[in-house]
């Protein structure tokens, strides 16, 4: 009995320590309400688990049957495992405090995500791992606590809190690199892609199975069936991951236009999987992803819009030329087909990527439909807006607004500001870099990041203020 | 040198770069630019002073200040619709919400709003803004009143008075393109090297300074625990 009581005491210590950590994190400053909502959920779970543990303790004291005691002790161990897991996830919330995030960006990105999928809530936090990522937690917590809570407990714990909270992670090293954070567009695209994949017509499996059957060399019927099933399973996994990433890229391109392509290219520069599929995570090659992005941009139309706009605004010829030259460089990059050669080397990836190509038209239709209102196009009007925002940056002023042709000021859109930042960087920064003395280059990078971040924050405030004035 | 009238301020705002005067964002342009001044709002970033074991600030010890300024001052952010309490005799650095870019022919002065002054709030002791300055203006906020003051980012807190400059103005400032308040960079004054002590400070004196700082810290802790 003593051993059992020791276990209960140790469990109580852990739950108490967890609750104490939650209380410490509760008072941190955050750039939005969501971390506070999630910490509130942790707090409620901790409180309920304390009650649950007390119940287990009483049951244990009154139990006479050793099997029952054994079962209760097993439940206590499961409860402690849950606490350990929740405690580890407190890092998501702790990391989301103001000083560790690009805080000016948090609310504008959440607003964009909400336009894409109403009700979406985000917690933006850095991670040590060099990657961007997104993870929904509320549903996971509901499942993880299911065996401990009855209906009344569940109501007490989850009622009044958001239905979903997505943890949006970015590489901690890049906190201030606002232009790279255009990749948030890719991440907030993932929940939408998930919706598509859930409702996708499963007929593609027939094609995959048929191709797998044709590819197998096994002649013995039973083994042939097993091999085909195994291959179909692998192909489906490759296909799913490829679609997840490629479609999320294409959503980012819909939201941010060229800025998305440049940001994806930047993140791909040091990727281990530029031409290969990651065997561990099944990520598609970056070159393949870039090719799809460039196809989606429909550069001839963009180029024509830039060309026509620049005719009326001669000052921006150098900007237009820099952007065109970058696109030419990327087009050249994707003309190289090393990635496709690697994909075709393996039967599973060859079938998977063929299936991806077949799926794309209907997937794109779904995405275009769902991103309709949020899509951003580089037409003559928006190109002129971007050029004027570049002019602000050139004069070292935040690109939150610009003087419109009609007189008065026009507030810049998030995508236009991001594109202005990239256009400016492509046009003016490379010339500044000097290997012997890069100080000036780094200062310029710092200034541009700060000005763009400021531009995003102020334009968001200006829009919010206009709504407030309208409602007054 | 002449003060710009409301109408002239608006004329300068419409000029082409690089002669354009920029004050952005102006959430209530008509309200903010009037009576020959521009109302400035309080930004969201602040630098607050900590009571730490940092013994004293010696402006001649540039590297030391640069390395240890984080021990003495801390940058915080208060979001819109949140508040900050400025206690009596407390100094904090804030900044204007507006980003200001002055052309070479204009300079400016930052002054407090009398309504705030009457509550004890003193704003902006470094009042001159040179031609060609670009950035959010750092405001030194001190509460000289008896009661704590609650401040909200976004409230109109100071005023900018703009002047024309005879000839072309220059700016060699250290706070260019700032988007929030800046730590003091007084140690970057070249002449500090001339004025600093010829010999290292007395070791005992240094120990005494550190001991005093620790006593101060302990006192604060005791007071805090009493308040609890």
User: Which pLDDT belongs to residue B70?
Assistant: 66
Q: Are residues A387 and A364 in the same domain?
A: no
Q: Is the pLDDT of residue B227 over 70?
A: no
Which pairing describes strands A166-171 and A122-127: parallel, antiparallel, or unpaired?
Answer: parallel
Minimum distance, in Å, between the CA of residue A462 and any CA atom of chain B: 7
Q: Which of A374, A399, A424 is the last residue of a domain?
A: A374
Does A395 contact B101 at a Cβ distance shorter than 8 Å?
A: yes
pLDDT at B65 > cutoff 90: no
Supply the pTM of this predicted model. 0.89
> What pLDDT score does B145 carry?
93
Last residue of a domain, one of A152, A175, A198: A175
Q: How many helices (H) and strands (E) does chain A have?
A: 18, 5
Tell me the per-residue pLDDT of B37-60, one tens digit each, with 9 for 90 and over.
999 999 999 999 876 666 666 666
The per-residue pLDDT for A262 is 97
Q: Is the minimum CB–CB distance between A438 and chain B shorter than 8 Å?
A: no
> Domain for residue A213, yes or no?
yes
**A454 touching B (Cβ < 8 Å):** yes
Yes or no, beta carbons of A396 and B134 under 8 Å apart: yes
Q: Is A95 a domain residue?
A: yes
Say how far residue A334 (Cα) sits from the centre of its chain: 24
**pLDDT tens digit at each of 472 positions of chain A:** 677 788 889 999 999 999 999 999 999 999 999 999 999 999 999 999 999 999 999 998 888 888 888 999 999 999 999 999 999 999 999 999 999 999 999 999 999 999 999 999 999 999 999 999 999 999 999 999 998 888 999 999 999 999 999 999 999 999 999 999 999 999 999 999 999 999 998 888 899 998 888 888 777 778 888 888 999 999 999 999 999 999 999 999 999 999 999 999 999 998 889 999 988 899 999 999 999 999 999 899 999 999 988 887 778 999 999 999 999 999 999 999 999 999 999 999 999 999 999 999 999 999 999 998 889 988 888 999 999 999 999 999 999 999 987 778 999 999 999 999 999 999 988 666 677 778 888 888 999 999 999 999 999 999 999 999 887 7
- Judge: B27–A465 Cβ closer than 8 Å, yes or no: yes
> ipTM of the predicted structure?
0.88
Q: For B7-27, what is the mean pLDDT? A: 95
- Tokens at A155, concatenated: 């109501």
Give the integer Cα–Cα distance in Å for A110 and A391. 28
Give the CB-side neighbour count of residue A225, counting CA atoms within 13 A.
2
Specify whether B140 is catalytic.
Answer: yes
Residue B175: is its pLDDT beyond 70? no
**Chain B residues within an 8 Å CB radius of A99:** 75-77
Note the pLDDT of residue B69: 65
Query: Quick one: pLDDT at residue A136?
Result: 95
A114, A92, A83: which is closest to A37 by C-alpha? A92
Which residues lie across from B163 on neighbouring strands? B3, B107
Cα separation, A290 vs A262, whole angstroms? 9
Q: How many CA atoms lie within 13 A of A163 on its CB side?
A: 4
At residue B201, the pLDDT reads 57
Instruction: Write down the pLDDT at residue B66.
Output: 64
Contacts of residue B218, Cβ cutoff 8 Å, sequence gap at least 6: none
Is the same domain home to A71 and A119?
yes
Are A70 and A210 part of one and the same domain? Answer: no
Q: Is residue A155 part of a domain?
A: yes
Measured CA to CA, the distance from residue A285 to residue A342 in angstroms comes to 9
pLDDT at A451: 97
Q: Which residue out of B14, B31, B77, B135 would a mutagenesis test of the A interface target, given it has the greatest number of A Cβ atoms within 10 Å?
A: B77
Q: Which chain B residue has its CA at the smallest distance from A458's CA?
A: B25
Same domain, A163 and A21: yes
Given this model, what pLDDT does residue A250 score? 96
Total domain count, chain A: 3
Q: Decide if A121 is inside a domain.
A: yes
Same domain, A112 and A167: yes
Q: How far is B120 from chain A (nearest CA, A)?
A: 28
Q: Which of A316, A346, A374 is the last residue of a domain?
A: A374
Closest to A396 measured CA to CA, from A444, A453, A462, A442:
A444
**Structural element, H or E, at residue A166:** strand A166-171
Using the structure block, give the residue that is written with the tokens 């739950």: A15
Cα–Cα distance for residue pair B11/A310, rounded to 1 Å: 27
For A438-457, letters b (16+ CB in 10 Å) and e give eeebeebbebbbbbbbbbbb
Show the tokens assigned to B205.
Answer: 């004196």
> Residue A53 falls within a domain, yes or no?
yes
pLDDT at B54: 61
Residues in chain B within 8 Å Cβ distance of A461:
25, 27, 80
Q: From the CA of B51, how many Å to the nearest CA of chain A?
A: 20
**Is A225 found in the same domain as A133?**
no
Overall average pLDDT of the B3-19 stretch: 94
Which among A120, A168, A124, A158 is positioned nearest to A43, based on CA atoms?
Answer: A158
Is the CB of A176 inside 8 Å of chain B's CB atoms? no
Residues A217 and A327 in one domain: yes
Q: Which residues of A touch B78 (CB under 8 A)?
A: 29
DSSP state for residue A306 in the 8-state scheme: H
Q: What is the pLDDT of residue B53?
A: 61
Q: Would residue A182 count as lying in a domain?
A: no
Token pair of A252, please? 């980012």
Q: In Å, how far are A117, A151, A367, A427 from A373, measured between CA atoms?
A: 11, 39, 11, 30
**Is A181 among the domain residues?**
no
**Predicted pLDDT at B200:** 60
Domain carrying residue A300:
187-374
- Distances in Å between the alpha carbon of A221 and those of A205, A210, A211, A214, A347? 20, 15, 16, 13, 20
B168 Cβ contact partners less than 8 Å away, ≥ 6 residues apart: B104, B105, B131
Predicted local distance difference test score (pLDDT) of residue A5: 82
Report the 10 Å Cβ neighbour count for A68: 13
A242 burial level (CB within 10 Å; 0-12, 13-18, 19+): buried
A442 in the same domain as A456: yes
- DSSP for chain B reads --BPPHHHHHHHHTSPTTS--EEE--TTHHHHEETTEEEEEB-SEEEEE---S-----TT-HHHHHHHHHHHEEEEE--TT--EEE-TT-EEEEEEEEEEE--TTEEEEEEE-HHHHTTTEEE-SS-EE-TT-EEEEEEEEEE-SSS-EEE-TTSEEEEEEEEE-SS------S-TTBSS-----GGG-TTHHHHS-SSPPPHHHHHHHHHHHHHHHHHHHHHHHHH-
Q: Are residues A36 and A156 in the same domain?
A: yes
CB B75 within 8 A of CB A29: no
- Note whether A61 and A84 are same-domain residues: yes
Residues 89-118 of A with CB under 8 A from B: 98-99, 103
Interface with chain B: mutation pick from A397, A405, A457, A472, highest number of B CBs within 10 Å: A397
User: Which pLDDT does position A413 carry in this prediction?
Assistant: 95
The pLDDT of residue B202: 63
Q: Who's near A297: CB < 8 A, 6+ residues apart?
A: A253, A257, A258, A261, A327
Beta bridge partners of A219: none
Catalytic residue among B29, B45, B74, B140: B140
CA distance A95 to A98: 9
- Alpha carbons B32 and B39: distance in angstroms, whole number: 5
Q: How far apart are CA B49 and CA A394, in angstroms?
A: 35
Residue A180 lies in a domain: no
Q: Residue A61's beta-bridge partner residues?
A: none
A339 and A397 assigned to the same domain: no
Residue A451 to chain B, least CA–CA distance (Å): 7
Strand partners, B92: B48, B141
DSSP codes joined into one string, B55-97: ----TT-HHHHHHHHHHHEEEEE--TT--EEE-TT-EEEEEEE
Chain A to chain B Cβ contacts (< 8 Å): 55
- Distance (Å) of CA A308 to CA A311, A331, B222, B224: 5, 22, 70, 66
Residues of A in contact with B27 (CB under 8 A): 461-462, 465
Assess whether A370 and A395 both reside in one domain.
no
The alpha carbon of residue B79 is apart from the nearest alpha carbon of chain A, in Å, by 7
The verdict on A313 touching B (C-beta cutoff 8 Å) is no
The Cα–Cα gap between A395 and A345 comes to 52
Residues B130-157, mean pLDDT to the nearest whole number: 94
């Amino acid at each position: 009995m003593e051993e059992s009581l020791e276990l209960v005491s140790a469990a109580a210590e852990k739950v108490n320590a967890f609750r104490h950590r939650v209380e410490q994190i509760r008072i941190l400053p955050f750039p939005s309400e969501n971390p506070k909502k999630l910490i509130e959920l942790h707090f409620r779970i901790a409180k309920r688990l304390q009650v649950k543990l007390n119940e287990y303790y009483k049951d244990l004291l009154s139990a006479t049957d050793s099997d029952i005691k054994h079962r209760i002790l097993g439940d206590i161990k499961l409860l402690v495992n849950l606490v350990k897991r929740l405690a580890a996830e407190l890092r998501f919330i702790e990391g989301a405090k103001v000083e560790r995030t690009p805080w000016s960006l948090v609310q504008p990105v959440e607003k964009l995500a909400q336009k894409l999928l109403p009700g979406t809530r985000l917690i933006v936090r850095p991670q040590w791992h060099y990657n961007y990522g997104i993870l929904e937690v509320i549903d996971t917590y509901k499942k993880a606590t299911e065996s401990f809570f009855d209906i009344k407990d569940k109501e007490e714990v989850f009622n009044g809190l958001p239905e979903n909270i997505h943890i949006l992670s970015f590489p901690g090293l890049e906190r201030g690199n606002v232009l790279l954070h255009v990749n948030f567009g890719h991440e907030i695209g993932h929940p939408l892609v998930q919706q598509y994949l859930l409702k996708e017509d499963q007929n593609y499996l027939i094609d995959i199975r048929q191709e797998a059957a044709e590819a197998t060399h096994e002649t013995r019927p039973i083994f042939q069936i097993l091999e085909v099933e195994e291959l179909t399973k692998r192909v489906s996994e490759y296909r799913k991951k490829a679609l997840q990433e490629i479609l999320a890229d294409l959503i980012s391109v819909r939201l941010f236009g060229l800025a998305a392509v440049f940001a994806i290219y930047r993140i791909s520069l040091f990727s281990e999987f530029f031409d290969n599929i990651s065997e561990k995570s099944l990520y598609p090659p970056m070159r393949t992803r870039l090719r799809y992005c460039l196809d989606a941009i429909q550069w001839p139309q963009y180029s024509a819009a830039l060309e026509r706009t620049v005719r009326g605004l001669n000052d921006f010829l150098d900007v237009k030329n820099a952007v065109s030259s970058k696109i030419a460089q990327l087009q050249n990059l994707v003309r190289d087909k090393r990635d496709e050669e690697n994909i075709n080397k393996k039967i599973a990836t060859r079938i998977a990527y063929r299936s991806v190509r077949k799926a794309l038209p209907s997937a794109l239709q779904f995405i275009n439909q769902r991103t309709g209102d949020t899509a951003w196009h580089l037409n003559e009007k928006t190109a002129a807006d971007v050029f004027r925002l570049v002019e602000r940056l050139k004069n070292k002023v935040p690109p939150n607004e610009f003087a419109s042709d009609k007189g008065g000021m026009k507030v810049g859109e998030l995508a236009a500001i991001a594109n202005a930042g990239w256009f400016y960087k492509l046009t003016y920064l490379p010339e500044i870099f000097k290997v012997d003395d890069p100080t000036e280059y780094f200062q310029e990078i710092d200034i541009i990041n700060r000005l763009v971040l400021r531009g995003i924050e102020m334009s968001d405030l200006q829009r919010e203020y206009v709504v407030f004035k309208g409602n007054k | 040198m002449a003060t710009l009238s409301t109408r002239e301020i608006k004329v300068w705002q419409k000029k082409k770069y690089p002669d354009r005067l920029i004050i952005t964002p102006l959430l209530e342009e008509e309200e903010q630019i009037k009576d020959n001044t521009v109302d400035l709002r309080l930004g969201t970033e602040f630098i607050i002073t900590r009571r730490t074991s940092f013994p004293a600030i010696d402006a001649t010890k540039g590297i030391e200040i640069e390395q240890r300024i984080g021990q003495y001052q801390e940058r915080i952010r208060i979001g819109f619709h949140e508040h900050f309490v400025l206690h009596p005799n407390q100094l904090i650095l804030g900044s204007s919400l507006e980003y200001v870019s002055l052309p070479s022919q204009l300079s400016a002065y930052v002054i407090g709003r009398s309504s705030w002054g009457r509550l004890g709030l003193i704003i902006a002791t470094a009042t001159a803004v040179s031609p060609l300055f670009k950035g959010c203006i750092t405001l030194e906020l001190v509460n000289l009143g008896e009661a704590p003051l609650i401040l909200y980012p976004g409230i109109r807190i100071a005023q900018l008075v703009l002047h024309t400059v005879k000839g072309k103005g220059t700016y060699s400032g250290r706070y260019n393109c700032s988007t929030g308040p800046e730590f003091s960079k007084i140690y970057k004054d070249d002449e500090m090297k001339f004025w600093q002590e010829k010999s290292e400070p007395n070791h005992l004196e240094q120990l005494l300074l550190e001991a005093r700082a620790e006593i101060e810290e302990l006192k604060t802790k005791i007071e805090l625990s009493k308040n609890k």
